[in-house]
Amino acid sequence: MSPLLASVGAETETAFTMPSINYYAIAPILILFGAAVVSVLVEAFVPQRGRRPVQLVIVVGSIVAALAVTIDLRGTRLVTGEGAIAVDGPTLLMWGALLVIGLLGALLMAERSIDPLGDAFAPRASALPGSEDEQEFTRRGFLQTEVWPFLLFALTGMLVFVASNDLLVMFVALEVMSLPLYLLAGMARRRRLLSQEAALKYFLLGAFSSAFFLYGAAMLYGFSGSVSLVAISDTLSAKTGEGSLVAIGIALLMVGLLFKVAAVPFHQWTPDVYQGAPTPVTGFMAATVKIAAFGALLRVLYVSLGGLRWDWEPMLWIIAALTMLVGSVVAITQTDIKRMLAYSSIAQAGFILVGVVAASPQGLASALFYLVAYAFTTIGTFAVITMVRDASGEATHLSKWAGLGKKSPVVAAVFSLFMLSLAGIPLTSGFVGKFGVFAAAIDSGNTWLVIVGVVASVIAAFFYVRVIVLMYFSDPTPDTASVVIPSAFTTIALTASAVMTIALGVFPQWLLDIITQAGVFIR
């Protein structure tokens, strides 16, 4: 029958069966999604002045509710939505981490007493930078409260991303997570042109990488006839010797995912975006996107492509080594602290990749621990950066941090703690994390990768420690920035991340236990 008539002549009733969905298992997603929709309605119907408090209640309330459900779900291990969503130990662990970090990020974004002009976002992102409109909006204290629905949508996307058991679901989640972040990156209150440039670069390159991901998924579908991770894995073990479609598929899929984790050949966007985006957004994004992207990467590699580990491991070895080295070396040359941290985040992605390529349950566990530890430290780091300011806004040039330790000893000490943790000094969470991934790599026989990792760590330690030396061992100059006392929002976020950085460094066992109980991905 001709294709045109096929759909017309189909009167044969095929029984449609309703999908079986365990709504409670995906309740955290539904809560955040519902809250995001409600917060769009708030933007529509609540008058200008009332929006911020209402949005804050919705954001904090929904994240806390989702977190409570996530905790209640612990031990759950099921695949729902006809095989599209997997709720297992690693999923729940990453949900928990994403929600907590999301909450801290929301607190940073809610801060309004650091900048005398208002919060970190432009009063109206559509007003031309420097225009009369912009000044008038600032004078009237307008706030762009649309950032709250964007935050909730991004978190929703991340939650789905780490739980998706299907490449198509993963792709949609990737977009749901990325689109709001592109927008948020372009909404800074100060240095707006830089911020808009960052958003544009992030958007263009991000769209490009999403296209690669989709192309890769299409190749894998062409090979296996399915986009389900499990079905692809089954086909891989059944069919052998038809490698080219699979190889291309994996390579393209990896481009899309490695772009999001900022691994080296695909890292070019990171410094510009980290520098240009409003600092609370940078902190939120640096921490959560890393978790979400690595979560998806781990699931794809472990659930779907585990049978082909001999094919993808060499590729990831090289990428991990390059990522660690390039990130660490280039970070040394940076003079802007946000750019330096961007390169540092690239190097950190390399360290996590060392755990990923171990391709063992131990590797998964160590990568998860590293991600959680890194996320807390990172969001704390950017919280400090929001507070170090001069007359023109945040003082991100390193020279303005000289002697900060003498002017504001407490904040400098907290920042030093984060730097030490990122460098992987013992008694901080970063040390436990690094130790874990390196141990997993040695167990899998990747000793040379560990050697590269240690070399990169030493290089990286140089620029982390340099900031500490700059803060404590040089005298304040007239240019030295001053630390603004924040409101409770930033204080809570900063305290929480500092406490976690120490707690995971001194008593890491409880999180290690949780990760052990979480086990491996469900198949």
Partner 1 sequence: MTDTVTDVNTGEQVVFWVCAILAVAGALGMVLSRKAVHSALWVALTMINLAILYIANSAPFLGMVQVIVYTGAVMMLFLFVLMVVGVDASDSLIETIKGQRLAAILLGLGLGILLVWGIGSGLVASPTVGLDAANDAYGGNVEGIANLIFTRYLLVFELTSALLITAAMGAMVLSHRDRWKEVASQRDLSIARFRSGVHPGNLPNPGVYARHNAVDTPAILPDGGTSDLSVPQPVRARGDERTLDQVDIDEVRQITEGSGE
Partner 2 sequence: MNVYTPILVLGLLAFGFAAFSVAAATVTGPKRYNRAKYDAYECGIEPTPQPIGGGRFPVKYYLTAMLFIVFDIEIVFLYPWAVAFDQLALFGLIEMFLFIITVLVVYAYVWRRRGLEWD
- Report the interface residues with partner 2, using CB under 8 A: 2, 4-5, 7, 13-14, 16, 18, 37, 40-41, 43-45
Nearer to partner 1, 235 or 497 (CB): 235
**CB neighbour list of residue 72: distance below 8 Å, 6 or more residues apart:** none
The helix (H) or strand (E) run that includes residue 79 is strand 78-80
Calpha distance 415→411 (Å, rounded): 6
Calpha distance 360→368 (Å, rounded): 12
Q: How far is the CB of 183 from partner 1 (least distance, A)?
A: 5
The 10 Å Cβ neighbour count of residue 292 is 28
Q: How far is the CB of 494 from partner 1 (least distance, A)?
A: 28
Nearer to partner 2, 43 or 311 (CB): 43
**Contact partner at residue 140 from partner 2, partner 1, none, CB < 5 to 8 Å by partner kind:** partner 1
Q: Which of these, 505, 509, 500, 507, lies nearest to 96 by C-alpha position?
A: 500
Q: Which of these, 152, 157, 139, lies nearest to 103 by C-alpha position?
A: 152
**Contact partner at residue 247 from partner 2, partner 1, none, CB < 5 to 8 Å by partner kind:** partner 1
**Contact partner at residue 85 from partner 2, partner 1, none, CB < 5 to 8 Å by partner kind:** partner 1
**Contact partner at residue 142 from partner 2, partner 1, none, CB < 5 to 8 Å by partner kind:** partner 1
Residues of the shown chain interacting with partner 1 in the complex, contacts defined by CB under 8 A: 3-4, 6-7, 10-14, 16-19, 21, 26, 29, 33, 36-37, 40, 43, 81-85, 124-127, 133, 136-137, 140, 142, 144, 146, 149-150, 153, 156-157, 160, 166, 168-169, 172-173, 175-176, 179-180, 182-183, 186-187, 219, 222-223, 225, 241-242, 244-245, 247-248
**Contact partner at residue 186 from partner 1, partner 2, none, CB < 5 to 8 Å by partner kind:** partner 1
3-state secondary structure of 188: strand
Nearer to partner 2, 145 or 282 (CB): 145
Q: Count of residues for the chain?
A: 523
**Contact partner at residue 414 from partner 2, partner 1, none, CB < 5 to 8 Å by partner kind:** none
Calpha distance 14→20 (Å, rounded): 18
Q: How far is the CB of 218 from partner 2 (least distance, A)?
A: 18
Q: How far is the CB of 123 from partner 2 (least distance, A)?
A: 15
Nearer to partner 1, 241 or 478 (CB): 241
Q: Give residue 454's identity as a one-letter amino acid code.
A: V
Q: How far is the CB of 292 from partner 2 (least distance, A)?
A: 22
Q: How far is the CB of 16 from partner 2 (least distance, A)?
A: 4
Q: Give residue 141's identity as a one-letter amino acid code.
A: G
Nearer to partner 2, 153 or 161 (CB): 153
Pairing, β 388-390 against β 393-394: antiparallel
**Contact partner at residue 187 from partner 1, partner 2, none, CB < 5 to 8 Å by partner kind:** partner 1
Calpha distance 451→117 (Å, rounded): 49
Q: Which of these, 381, 403, 490, lies nearest to 114 by C-alpha position?
A: 490
**Contact partner at residue 44 from partner 1, partner 2, none, CB < 5 to 8 Å by partner kind:** partner 2
Q: Which two tokens stand for residue 68?
A: 């409570």
DSSP 121: B
Q: How far is the CB of 155 from partner 2 (least distance, A)?
A: 17
Q: Give residue 165's identity as a one-letter amino acid code.
A: N
Residue with tokens 């969001």: 379
Q: How far is the CB of 450 from partner 1 (least distance, A)?
A: 32
The helix (H) or strand (E) run that includes residue 389 is strand 388-390
Q: How far is the CB of 21 from partner 1 (least distance, A)?
A: 7
Asked if 119 and 81 count as a contact pair (C-beta separation under 8 A), the reply is: no
**Contact partner at residue 41 from partner 2, partner 1, none, CB < 5 to 8 Å by partner kind:** partner 2
Can you give the C-alpha Rg of the chain in angstroms? 23
